[in-house]
Structure 1
């Protein structure tokens, strides 16, 4: 399963710390093994159930989010001399939606939100998965604050960047839906 995860997540190789890289990989492997979804499914299913007829796949959205976070961070570092913990940024961006794998079920061949997913949103289940693999609190913070649940608290620099990268690769599709 590790090789399959590496195939859908080549960005894992951008993490320099080998221990952290292994924990991120193990977290994704565990999530897939405890999900009704396979790595192939993640390259086919829509990235959101909130957008009708969404043709952007889960992995396309996720990888775009990671790539956007990296590009934003590069510009922030260059233009403002902002210190960025690159491993935390990349690992956090890769893990923010790992909990979604526990939110879904397949009923009559169709993807839908499970009862668990209705009650436990992915920032919370993602935190639980990441804690299981002893990921650093800075990464737990990114997972827990990347979505609307983090709006009332403080975010680290890395979390701010990942939060905005996630929403910039989600909200335009919601807007497009309402503008039609």
Structure 2
């Protein structure tokens, strides 16, 4: 199994170097953490939230979350492009950024347990290093860092904002499956 099988959305990235770097980021993160590519699809989404919500570690998975965020970000970008004529949305940046926004969760957790990286830095901060090691452009590091309010870094580009909103929508959908009132989250 390869990264393209786990994340078929990667094929939508037109820039060969960017597509290769996104694949390298995931492959390196998996290898660094002793995870076989074939086992990526079994990695939990976000253990602290899963515990808090009473979601089993295998009920919500990281790969499906990343794929949901990617689909949602692409949908938002396409809608804005079609309805508002926003010609400067870079779809390669949207897809690549959505695909790598949580790549560093592989360093933050070992199964359902937080690692030292998770305890001291958290995945958005460590993700800057992961994207740099994969030779991804600074826009990817910015998306990783700004995709969550945990960092206090606000999105500076429309692409980063769309990935952040897509991540929020995916998280809310996960919570909606276990809560009758989202205000209880």
Under TM normalisation by the shorter chain, which class is it? 0.7 to 0.9
Q: Deviations over 1:134-179 (max 9, x none)?
A: 2111121111101114545343100110001011000233355453
Q: Say whether the 8 Å CA contact 2:3–2:27 is kept in structure 1.
A: yes
TM-score after normalising by structure 1: 0.88
CA distance in 1, matches of 2:17, 2:25: 12
User: Hey, what does 2:12 align to over in structure 1?
Assistant: 14
How far off is 1:105 after superposition? 1.6
Cα RMSD after superposing both structures: 1.8
Deviates more, 1:147-156 or 1:56-65: 147-156
TM-score after normalising by structure 2: 0.86
Unaligned runs of 5+ in 1: none
Equivalent runs, 1:1-180 vs 2, <5 Å: 3-49=1-47, 50-51=49-50, 52-54=54-56, 55-82=59-86, 83-106=88-111, 111-149=112-150, 151-179=152-180
CA distance in 1, matches of 2:100, 2:113: 21
CA distance in 2, matches of 1:117, 1:41: 20
After TM superposition, which residue ranges in structure 1, 4 or more long, deviate above 6 angstroms? none
How far off is 1:64 after superposition? 0.8
Unaligned runs of 5+ in 2: none
Q: Deviations over 1:41-82 (max 9, x none)?
A: 331233121122241221111101101111111001111111
Count how many residue pairs are aligned between Structure 1 and Structure 2: 174
